Amino acid sequence: MNLVEKILARASGRPSVEPGEIVVAKVDRLIMHDLSGYLTSQVFEKRVNTPIPDPTRVVMVFDHHYSPPTEQQANVLQHNRKWAAKHGITLHDCGNGNLHHAAVRNGHIKPGMIVVGSDSHTPVHGTLGALAVALGNDSHAGTVLPYGKAWFKVPATVRVHLEGTPNPGVTPRDVALWLVGRIGEGELNYRAVEFAGPYVRELSFWDRWLFPLLCVDLGAKCSFVEPDEVTEAFVRTLPGGAAPELLVRGDGDEAEQVLRFDVGEVEPQVACPPTVGNVKPVREVAGTPIQHAELGGHGGGRLEDFRAAAEVLAGRTVHPGVRFNLVPSSREVFAEAAREGLVLALHEAGATWFPPSTGSNQAYNMGALASDEAMISTHARNFPGRNGSPDASMYLASAATVAASAVAGVITRADDERGNA
Amino acid sequence: MRFEGRCWRFGDNIPTDRLVKTQHVLEPMDVIVQHVLEDLNPDFPKLVRPGDIVFAGKHFGQSSGRAIAAKALQATRIGCVVAETFARTFYRNCFEIGLPALEIGINPDLAADGDRVRADLASGEFTNLTTGRTARGAAADPFLVDMLDAGGLIDLAKSRPEVFR
């Protein structure tokens, strides 16, 4: 069995499981943000409303809001706080960062766990060697909260094997975006996706994070990187430390299919409107005007992103026609950015810091666009209608490309921007 | 489980954000339902009738895992939703809330707006009664059919708690 199969077998009390089987398995963590928590609590209260036997498994992070701009939104947060307090659910209130980053940074996610949530990027926790799956509100309300369990169909696994050496200026996010374009949206529907190969092995934990993050756009159910010494070293830095008894590794070659890619072919990439799969080399859309740039979102707002931006902005300033917004993914990232001098450097270059949150994700607290505006960001989604006008344009790229575009006022490769200076 | 009705055709890769736009997520369902898919077909929320069938392309319902998108489509009182392929959270949510869903594989020109169509979840068969063309998808898993019969996952868990204890 591989990691996914082993975790599902253990959590469903079976000696083994096979792809296609439906099992009912014990869930270790339910993670929700302010919107999914609200919707789940409403279904739970109206239709289930039992005690929650083990509320320590349930975590809510307010990340779409850092400070509610309307009474309606304030009411949503207040409702969530009362619901969490009533049941003993762990709550990280406004300002604690993005759901997935805050869940990891606060020690809620460990290798070998089954993690569920409504947020579609929940599978990102496969980076730690957890089995992490997005389920809907009715699963949470109907089975996860009252019984601590959920139903799962055991997925077949596709291994994405990445090898080769990236060209200078090509970052892991470029490789991740390129893969979505190469494999295609929805093409790995219902599969588990393992990211493997020498390229993946050499990445740091937070660079690996960008790969399981994208699996939802391929249609996958979940994704993982086989835990290794990078995973173990990272987990030791988290509150609660390592949980070696939870560490699960696969037995070998249990993949239905292996897709091999040479990352040496990749150049800087950008996902263009209207979907995440519309990926092009940056040079094909270079010169497109943008008015907003942002480092933030489920895959952005990492320390690595702010370092990359500071490098691009060294000796330069943000274009006067661009608002360049910086949204740390967690309080820990903001603290580290401050210690490294990135906070002041990027502030003085003309960028604006926002509270740790999920930033412009769906524009609940920031980032709505007028119909003739465009944004380039490290966010994970660019569907029309998510951020203000459905006619606005959203581009997704690496932190280096976002920063270079913020300087130029048009979509630009970071190496071209350096050449122009 | 057989459904027959008037077809509404939608394209590929339609995200939940177009079923329920961001600005409506926190609104009551009677408001949300007036805007379902309106950016893609303004007539749909105005003219959809009970028993109609939505037929979409590839990877329908991608993006958010929140069940509210499937619930909004259910609130239009369509009979069932058919797609070439579904995003998996959307497919799961359909059964969990009691909205029948049939996946038929890639068949781009099988039906157009206004065609009379029939979907059979038990056999996986989809028939365009206007043109006579047919396609056969995978029959729904028996566990999912039980879920639909129960009225959705919450009702299933209430009537058969031993499954989840």
Domain boundaries, chain B: 2-163
* pLDDT range class, residue A282, cuts 50, 70, 90: very high
Cα–Cα distance measured from residue A113 to residue A135, given in angstroms and rounded to the nearest whole number: 15
Structure tokens at B97: 């809330």
Residue A26 has pLDDT above 70, yes or no: yes
Residue A158 has pLDDT above 80, yes or no: yes
Cβ within 8 Å, pair B87-A118: no
Q: Which one has a higher pLDDT value, B110 or A246?
A: B110
Of the residues A227, A261, A295, which one is the last residue of a structural domain? A261
Residue range A144-160: mean pLDDT, rounded: 97
* pLDDT range class, residue A246, cuts 50, 70, 90: low
What's the pLDDT score for residue A249? 83
Residues of A in contact with B39 (CB under 8 A): 384-385, 390
Identify whether the C-beta of residue B79 lies closer than 8 Å to the C-beta of residue B71.
Answer: no
- The end-to-end CA distance of chain B, in Å, is 29
Q: Same structural domain for residues A226 and A140?
A: yes
Closest CA to A223 of A183, A252, A196: A196
For residue B9, what are the contacts with CB-CB under 8 A and spacing of at least 6?
A: B55, B56, B111, B112, B113
Cβ within 8 Å, pair A22-B141: yes
Structure tokens at B4: 């027959």
Cα–Cα distance measured from residue B102 to residue A116, given in angstroms and rounded to the nearest whole number: 25
User: Which 257-286 residues of chain A touch chain B by CB within 8 A?
Assistant: 275, 277
Q: How many beta-carbon pairs below 8 A join chains A and B? A: 134
Q: Any CB–CB contact under 8 A between A360 and chain B?
A: no
What's the pLDDT score for residue A352? 98
In one-letter notation, the amino acid at residue A240 is G
E strand or H helix that includes residue A116: strand A114-117
Q: Any CB–CB contact under 8 A between B157 and chain A?
A: yes
Q: Which one has a higher pLDDT value, A245 or A365?
A: A365
Identify whether the C-beta of residue A22 lies closer than 8 Å to the C-beta of residue A151.
Answer: yes
Structure tokens at A60: 């809510």
pLDDT one-digit tens code per residue, A343-389? 999 999 999 999 999 999 999 999 999 999 999 999 999 988 889 99
Fold of B2-163: Aconitase; domain 4 (3.20.19)
Nearest by CB to A137, which of B66, B164, B165?
B66
Q: Would you give per-residue pLDDT tens digits along chain B (165 residues)?
A: 899 999 999 999 999 999 998 889 889 999 999 999 999 999 999 999 999 999 999 999 998 888 999 999 999 999 999 999 999 999 999 999 999 999 999 988 999 999 999 999 989 999 999 999 999 998 999 999 999 999 999 999 999 999 998
Cβ within 8 Å, pair B65-A219: no
* pLDDT range class, residue A284, cuts 50, 70, 90: very high
* pLDDT range class, residue A421, cuts 50, 70, 90: very low
What's the pLDDT score for residue A244? 62
Q: Any CB–CB contact under 8 A between B163 and chain A?
A: yes
Cβ within 8 Å, pair A147-B15: no
CA distance B96 to chain A (A): 6
Q: By mean pLDDT, which of A277-286, A314-323, B21-30 is the weakest? A: B21-30
Q: Where residue A320 sits, what CATH number does that domain have? A: 3.30.499.10
Cα–Cα distance measured from residue A130 to residue A110, given in angstroms and rounded to the nearest whole number: 7
**Angle between helix B142-150 and B88-97 (nearest 10):** 40
Q: Same structural domain for residues A165 and A288?
A: no
User: Which 83-122 residues of chain A touch chain B by CB within 8 A?
Assistant: 117-120, 122
Q: pLDDT over 90 for what percent of chain A?
A: 93
Interface test with chain A among B16, B19, B96, B163, by most A beta carbons within 10 Å? B96
Residue range A256-281: mean pLDDT, rounded: 96
Nearest residue on chain B to A214, judged by CA atoms? B63
Domains in chain A, number: 2
pLDDT one-digit tens code per residue, A115-135? 999 999 999 999 999 999 999
Residue range A142-164: mean pLDDT, rounded: 97
What's the pLDDT score for residue A417? 73
Closest CA to A53 of A26, A20, A92: A26
Cβ within 8 Å, pair B157-A137: no
| Residue A312: domain span | 269-420
Residue range A79-87: mean pLDDT, rounded: 98
Q: Same structural domain for residues A335 and A319?
A: yes
Residue A288 has pLDDT above 70, yes or no: yes
pLDDT one-digit tens code per residue, A42-54? 999 999 999 999 9
Helix (H, G, I), strand (E, B), or coil: what is residue A102? Answer: helix
Residue A270 has pLDDT above 90, yes or no: yes
Nearest residue on chain B to A27, judged by CA atoms? B164
Residue A243 has pLDDT above 90, yes or no: no
Q: Same structural domain for residues A183 and A316?
A: no
Cα–Cα distance measured from residue A319 to residue A420, given in angstroms and rounded to the nearest whole number: 14
CA distance B64 to chain A (A): 5
Residues of B in contact with A186 (CB under 8 A): 13, 58-59, 62, 85, 87
For the residues of A157-203, what is the DSSP string, one character each?
EEEEEEES-PPTT--HHHHHHHHHHHH-TTTTTT-EEEEESHHHHTS
Nearest residue on chain B to A43, judged by CA atoms? B154
Residue A420 has pLDDT above 80, yes or no: no
Residue A418 has pLDDT above 70, yes or no: no
Q: Which one has a higher pLDDT value, A418 or A271?
A: A271
